[in-house]
């Protein structure tokens, strides 16, 4: 522990520095504050009224109502730019912006709204399909309960209705049915799976599958060397310390690739495991512990 007077004197120095900093910053801030305080906002609104894609869209159209609204917005902007009280000018600018939006609404093609609605619909539909196939597997695994059978009938009905409405181009109504089918499926899956733990065991059908896993694991550790040791690798001594491990890891990996080319996946797996071990040693050698 430092003694109290020492702490106090350190505090005093810091306060003095703080005051100096504040003074300089205040001076700098006052310098930038000169000129029209609304200048930035005026410039932004000017951009929106004259240069934005919305402005160009209105200009390029022959919708008189939209062109008139933009002219009105421009004149509001000009009044605000000329002066007046801060509050009035802000309000005028807000109104000018709102008017330009109204104007662009008159000439817009719906801003691609239909396209987006269709894309959102398709995304939701593919999620419904994925959930339904999970639902089917659960029913197979657990046996069809009466509840699930009932729910499935409801889901199918809504889902078909959604398709039919979509075919007629009724996006909004179609989406309502699709969402209902989706929600019921979700609830049914939730009901069947709640509180469970499913385990994906580590087992491989063929040595080739295990080789692919090991290759991925080796890639992963190479990326971990880069990520975990990013700052440490700036030091030459750390680089020297891990260089041997990295070389060994590379040569084991080369061996593994050769074995795999020859179709000997068992040998290749062993070599990759040795390579990954060297990478773990490199990471640990640089002072970061990870399990092997």
Q: Rule CB under 8 A: say whether 87 interacts with other proteins.
A: no
User: Among residue numbers 102 through 131, which ones bind other proteins (CB under 8 A)?
Assistant: 104-105, 108, 110-113, 116, 119-120, 123-124, 126-127, 129-131
**Minimum CB distance to other proteins smaller for 38 or for 161:** 38
Q: Rule CB under 8 A: say whether 40 interacts with other proteins.
A: yes
Helices 86-107 & 39-50 angle (0-180, nearest 10): 20
Q: Rule CB under 8 A: say whether 197 interacts with other proteins.
A: yes
CB of 124 to other proteins, least distance (A): 6
Count CA atoms within 13 Å of residue 163 on its CB side.
Answer: 10
d(CA 267, CA 250): 16
Q: Rule CB under 8 A: say whether 236 interacts with other proteins.
A: no
Q: Rule CB under 8 A: say whether 47 interacts with other proteins.
A: yes
- Note the Cα 240 to chain centre separation in Å: 38
**Minimum CB distance to other proteins smaller for 244 or for 292:** 292
Q: Rule CB under 8 A: say whether 235 interacts with other proteins.
A: no
**Minimum CB distance to other proteins smaller for 147 or for 223:** 223
**Minimum CB distance to other proteins smaller for 43 or for 153:** 43
Residues in the chain: 292
How many residues make contact with other proteins (CB under 8 A)? 88
Residue pair 252/281 in contact by the 8 Å Cβ criterion: no
Taking phi over 0 as left and psi of -120 to 50 as alpha, with beta for the rest, 144 belongs to beta
Q: Rule CB under 8 A: say whether 29 interacts with other proteins.
A: yes
CB of 80 to other proteins, least distance (A): 12
d(CA 200, CA 239): 38
d(CA 94, CA 266): 71
Q: Rule CB under 8 A: say whether 227 interacts with other proteins.
A: yes
**Minimum CB distance to other proteins smaller for 165 or for 210:** 210
Any long-range contacts for 283-286 (C-beta under 8 Å, 24+ apart)? 283/221, 283/224, 283/225, 283/228, 283/229, 285/241, 285/242, 285/245, 286/228, 286/229, 286/232, 286/233, 286/238, 286/241, 286/242
CB of 94 to other proteins, least distance (A): 4
User: Among residue numbers 206 through 225, which ones bind other proteins (CB under 8 A)?
Assistant: 213-214, 216-217, 219-220, 223-224
**Minimum CB distance to other proteins smaller for 169 or for 195:** 195
Task: Retrieve residue 174's tokens.
Answer: 């179609």
- Note the Cα 20 to chain centre separation in Å: 42
Q: Rule CB under 8 A: say whether 286 interacts with other proteins.
A: no
**Minimum CB distance to other proteins smaller for 184 or for 260:** 184
């Amino acid at each position: 522990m430092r003694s109290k007077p020492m702490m106090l004197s350190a505090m005093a120095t810091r306060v003095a520095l703080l005051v100096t900093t504040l003074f300089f910053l205040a001076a700098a801030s006052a310098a930038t504050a000169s000129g029209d305080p609304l200048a930035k906002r005026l410039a932004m609104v000017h951009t929106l009224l004259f240069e934005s894609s919305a402005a160009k869209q209105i200009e390029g159209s022959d919708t008189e109502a939209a062109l008139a609204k933009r002219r009105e917005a421009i004149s509001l902007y000009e009044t605000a730019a000329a002066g007046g009280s801060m509050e009035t000018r802000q309000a005028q600018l807000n109104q000018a912006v709102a008017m330009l939006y109204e104007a662009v609404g008159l000439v817009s093609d719906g801003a691609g709204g239909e396209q987006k609605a269709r894309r959102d619909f398709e995304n939701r539909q593919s999620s419904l399909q994925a959930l339904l196939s999970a639902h089917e597997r659960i029913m197979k695994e657990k046996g069809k309960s009466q509840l699930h059978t009932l729910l499935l009938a409801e889901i199918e009905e809504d889902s078909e209705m959604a398709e039919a409405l979509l075919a007629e181009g009724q996006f909004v109504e179609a989406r309502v049915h699709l969402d209902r089918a989706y929600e019921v499926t979700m609830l049914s899956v939730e009901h069947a799976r709640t509180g469970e733990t499913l385990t994906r065991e580590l087992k491989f059908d063929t040595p080739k599958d295990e080789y692919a896993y090991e290759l991925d694991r080796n890639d992963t550790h190479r990326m971990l060397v880069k990520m975990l040791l990013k700052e440490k690798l700036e030091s030459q001594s750390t680089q020297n310390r891990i260089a041997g491990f990295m070389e060994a890891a590379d040569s084991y990996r080369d061996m593994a690739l050769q074995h795999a080319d020859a179709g000997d996946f068992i040998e290749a797996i062993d070599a990759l495991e040795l390579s990954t071990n060297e990478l773990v040693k490199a990471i640990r050698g640089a002072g970061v512990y990870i399990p092997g």
